[in-house]
Structure 1
């Protein structure tokens, strides 16, 4: 059995060898593999930092820790879900970290509002019924979205498809029997929940309007495509099941 000094020397030897070899290993990896690793490490780090903030930070910062943990979980599980259900479409974009400029601006705006309001009204940012309701909304939205993805399986794609694949099916069972766009419904309420967690009144209103507009337009485009793909079958499906989002009826053919 190695003594303490022996174990220490062995540990240091292995760490030094790994540090020496690692740069060369990374250079030999495919760029895509490295990019996946970097994003996964980043999201895992953010997830951990969020938990630490919640556990040890002042009370006015704790819900920000919950928020960044929820954010990291959402983006990582998007990639992981696609890797599971539809690996042929998997890419760096599956993390949806670079979803759009508007998405980045919205996120940054929520951070700025939180910091500014905490500076002047710290009590406003302490955990409350509102922030925990937002957490529940995020969890429910996340579950709904992932349930939709795993129900649709290979039919799910982050990008609206313009061409029908041979194995593309119209999914009307499971969660799709309750609403036509459960993944959008989940994401919509998840986004609102993040602002309730932060107790950001301004961004909550802005997120509500921006998210509604985004999904309204997205659903119109997607349903035109689905009508082209599935014709009368999709028309009948529209008659039976709503979109699931408030005041969004989708694209209807005038027959």
Structure 2
């Protein structure tokens, strides 16, 4: 733990201004969040009944926890690959644009159609999707251990093994399933109808391509062992079967 914390600190110091943004993210997760003059911890902010905590606050807590835990689990599983990129904050231009779009939609709809942001049951469904998705993804990362990497590996290392136990016995790609439902859940939580549909379509297309790319590599790495696993276990993503293999 000391090694992880010290390594994290060095990375932040080396990153300059960018490092400060990551430091702020960390602080947002672990420090208290001020609400109406009171101090509310992150778990309490997430679990307090929906009317008590505004959905934007729940969204920010969920977003912060997701990205920080990406870094933390990577530090536990595969510290050699640890870097600021492990936060996934700079995942891609499209990812940042999607986040910005959701903030713009929420703000405009809050001003023009405030009643739309007061659908308690829908926000609760979104919170459940967010919690489920994030927990599933982190369970997948921890189960895979050092086999997990944020970047698809093109070369098999000596330590690479095919993981089929735990959540990998439910889905072939549990980390993608978790991220898929987490991303859509953030928009359900915010009651953003446009981004709900947009996130679902864009995420589905992204993971369809990502799964096919990854499975080509996995078949190359593990051959018949992976093909047998593929026949028995679904991808977990709706209407995504993975790469087609010609027999």
The Cα of 1:42 is off from its aligned counterpart by 1.3
Query: 2:74 matched to which residue of 1?
Result: 82
Shift of 1:38: 2.7
1:42 aligns with 2:61: no
1:220 corresponds to: 212
Give yes or no for contact 2:12–2:20 (8 Å, CA) kept in 1: no
Matches within 5 A, 1:114-129: 114-126=106-118, 128-129=120-121
Which residue in 2 is equivalent to 1:166?
Answer: 158
Question: In the alignment, which residue of structure 2 is the partner of 1:135?
Answer: 127
In 2, the alpha carbon distance for the partners of 1:200 and 1:167 equals 43
Determine the C-alpha separation between the residues in 2 that align with 1:31 and 1:160: 23
Write the distance in 2 (CA, Å) between the matches of 1:137 and 1:200: 14
* Pairing 1:25-64 to 2, within 5 Å after superposition: 33-35=13-15, 38-47=20-29, 51-52=33-34, 62-64=54-56
Note if 1:66 corresponds to 2:48.
Answer: no
* CA distance 1:51–1:135, shift in 2 (3 Å): farther
Match in the other structure for 2:104: 112
| Count of paired positions | 225
Compute the RMSD of aligned alpha carbons. Answer: 2.3
Structure 1 residues 211, 231: CA separation in 2 closer, same or farther (over 3 Å shift)? same
Partner of 1:190: 182
Task: Identify if the C-alpha distance between structure 1 residues 81 and 30 changes in structure 2 by more than 3 Å, giving closer, same or farther.
Answer: closer
- Looking at secondary structure, tell me which structure has more helix per residue: 1
What's the counterpart of residue 44 of structure 2? none
Q: Secondary structure at the match of 1:243?
A: coil
Q: Quick check: which has more Rg, 1 or 2?
A: 1
Q: Which runs of 5+ in 1 are unaligned?
A: 1-28
Superposed CA offset, 1:97-133 (max 9, x none): 0000000000000000000000011121125100011
What TM-score, normalized to structure 1? 0.82
Unaligned 5+ segments in structure 2 are 1-8, 39-50
Aligned-partner SS, 1:52:
strand
